[in-house]
Structure 1
Amino acid sequence: MNQINELINQLDLKQNVHLEDIPSIDLYMDQVIQLFEKTFEPSKRNETEKILTKTMINNYAKGKLFFPVKNKKYSKEHIILISLIFQLKGALSIGDIKLVLDGVNEKVVTEDFKLDPFYQSYLNLLDRNTEFYKENLKDKAKDAKDELAKTEIDSDDYLQKVLLIASLVNMSNLYRKAAESLVDTLKD
């Protein structure tokens, strides 16, 4: 796995909807979709993959993952919440996401809670996580190579990739389980 640095660069890990990317005016659904498509275009695995669709947004609204829109327009707060949903849906069920965001939605609606600083904190953590991830991915690739070197198996690039994939999926599952356990604490 000599191509690990190339992989890291290819992943374009800095993609996210940043506060400065969100217009100060409310947007119609098509404009929200365009914002997400433009932002996350490089992360698509193929041309047919959709980042965000009308159906997805409608399902999030029906599932009450964010507070109701006014006049078919999405505020900055809606876009922030949709961005969080977009990130969370990679690991959590829609029911878990609803549970996680219920309190945030309630604060926005009833307490005049400003989402900007909260979201910026999330983005700051995301940046730190990304830097940690880059170093950790290099370590995991080296670990896979070293583990195969300890065996009597011919250590080719394919087997190193398979071992690295299995290791990364395992780490993903461990983090997901930790997140789900934290979600369960919100039920009380």
Structure 2
Amino acid sequence: MSKSEDIAQKLDLESTIHEDDIPIIDLYMDQVIQLFDAKYNDTLRNEEEKVLTKTMINNYAKGKLFIPIKNKRYSKKHIMLINLIYQMKGALSIKDIKSVLEPLNDKMESEDFLLEKFYRSWIIIQQNNAQNFLEEMKTHEIVVENQEADENDQLILLIASLSNMSNAYRKAAELLVDELNERRKGT
């Protein structure tokens, strides 16, 4: 198994909360955390890291990142939005995530917006990204292996290369957040 395949396997990028994984009944916060732990716990870097905590969920609610909860229970829509937050929080600030999700939250409150349809589209994109990641990793690995460097230096070069791409993707996402904000101001 190549380094790229090993990394892709450990990251388990295809792991996600599918719509069918979300119970039809509303869940209490502890149940939401259990659902996220069941899906994402194997993708954590170490045991000290947490997938989701009560504090995180409370901060998302206070920050109005998703529609208000009712009777301390989280609906299927809440869980879908929390999963979107979970996916974006590694690259974007909470402020940017709020800007991204605000139009969806507004649509859910004022229109007949089907979050489920949007979420299914997101899952398809996420699964496609997981497949593309392995191919991109292999490309980075080949480029690094072609450099005249010892094994440790090659590992450092691979880390630097991946960090560089991560920054490029994050900055591209931030530019798109700014564009979304400008569009919202113009309407």
Return the letter of the residue paired with 1:15: S
Tell me the CA shift for residue 2 of structure 1: 4.5
Tell me the CA shift for residue 48 of structure 1: 1.9
Residue ranges of structure 2 left out of the alignment (5+ in a row) = 183-187
- 1:1-188 residue pairs with structure 2 within 5 A? 2-146=2-146, 148-149=147-148, 155-188=149-182
Q: TM-score, normalised by structure 1?
A: 0.93
Q: TM-score, normalised by structure 2?
A: 0.94
Instruction: Give RMSD over aligned pairs.
Output: 1.2
Percent identity over paired residues = 54
SS in 1 for 2:13: coil
Return the letter of the residue paired with 2:100: V
Q: Distance in 2 between matches of 1:9 and 1:178?
A: 26
Q: Distance in 2 between matches of 1:119 and 1:61?
A: 19
Residue ranges of structure 1 left out of the alignment (5+ in a row) = 150-154
Return the letter of the residue paired with 1:112: D
Q: Distance in 2 between matches of 1:77 and 1:138?
A: 36
Shift >4 Å, 4+ stretches: none
Instruction: Count how many residue pairs are aligned between Structure 1 and Structure 2.
Output: 182
Tell me the CA shift for residue 157 of structure 1: 1.8
Q: Distance in 2 between matches of 1:66 and 1:3?
A: 38
More divergent stretch after superposition (67-76 vs 10-19):
10-19
Return the letter of the residue paired with 1:62: K
Q: Distance in 2 between matches of 1:6 and 1:81?
A: 30
SS in 1 for 2:68: coil
Q: Distance in 1 between matches of 2:168 and 2:4?
A: 22
